Structure 1
């Protein structure tokens, strides 16, 4: 009888630690990054540019993001994200996916420039040189997987056109001898 209670206690501990993955069975680790065998969504074979797996969730209640970019008065760009059914996780959050929670990665022309834990960010002007650029915000779960709906990452892209700014216009210089 005692061994039965011990086994039951061990099973409860395993369940609290994340099922079979918490007890050492199965292979929930992929490509050197801990990937949770969580019941949140379904891991797909598709990956982003950094090799992070997509975590598919149903369309109803799925996270969403929109991006807005405005020139900042002091230079650079102010980025504002509007999220739906999503909360940003604070630093130090465990690497376990929770429905509708995580961080956003900000990309300029496909290159990661920031990882965001808030909906607002200042993008330095040097990161958006002269020309037209694609700025993308993509949502990630706390375990590093990409939130996805219908096999597509949950993301939003805005085009930004930057031009070199010249010196501020000032008064015309007076002609020599003019008063």
Structure 2
């Protein structure tokens, strides 16, 4: 066997080992999903803290943070409620968007008394009257990045809350309510 054949074989083995070792060491940072499927991103810092469904908080500086306020009014034409969100430094992304965190982009999650109710890809939503029984209820909205992390400032989720009070309907009238904003949010 000549020295050239040995040299070529040695180069091939080195290249193969190098590729295998690079693959093994390249799986940590930036090599794939980490921490429950949350991909690394240059946007903020993913915290260990999670919401009720296990979505991690994505901490960002207050000066860069998106904001949201929720307003709820009885729907005059239909049974139910009109929900309107006012957002600041935030854009809703359409369904099917890339699932990476980008500054000030994502969706809102609407909750009723702490239970997830609807994923919002825009600033308006109709809440059917049948979903809100008699009594006072909290409607909360939180902003999420497209990778399902929750935008957060100082360890607190970026969101807003409003109350809905549904009273007994009078004879011949529909249920009425008096929503009031409980928190303007960030």
Structure 1 counterpart of 2:33, from 17, 28, 34: 28
Q: Which residue of 1 aligns with 2:124?
A: 120
Q: Which residue of 2 aligns with 1:59?
A: 62
Structure 2 counterpart of 1:141, from 119, 139, 145: 145
Does 2:80 correspond to 1:76? Answer: yes
Does 2:111 correspond to 1:107? Answer: yes
Q: Which residue of 1 aligns with 2:158?
A: 154
Does 2:47 correspond to 1:44? Answer: yes
Structure 2 counterpart of 1:96, from 95, 100, 109: 100
Residues of 1 paired with 2:28 and 2:118: CA distance? Answer: 35
* Equivalent residues, number: 146
Cα drift, residue 165 of structure 1 = 2.0
TM-score by length of 1: 0.77
Q: Which moved more, 1:88-97 or 1:158-167?
A: 158-167
| Alpha-carbon RMSD | 1.6
SS of the equivalent of 1:126 reads: helix
Where does the alignment leave 5 or more consecutive residues of structure 2 unmatched?
1-22, 174-186
Q: Which residue of 1 aligns with 2:167?
A: 163
Q: Deviations over 1:40-80 (max 9, x none)?
A: 00011110000000000000031000000000011110000
Q: Deviations over 1:147-174 (max 9, x none)?
A: 00111000000011012324426xxxxx
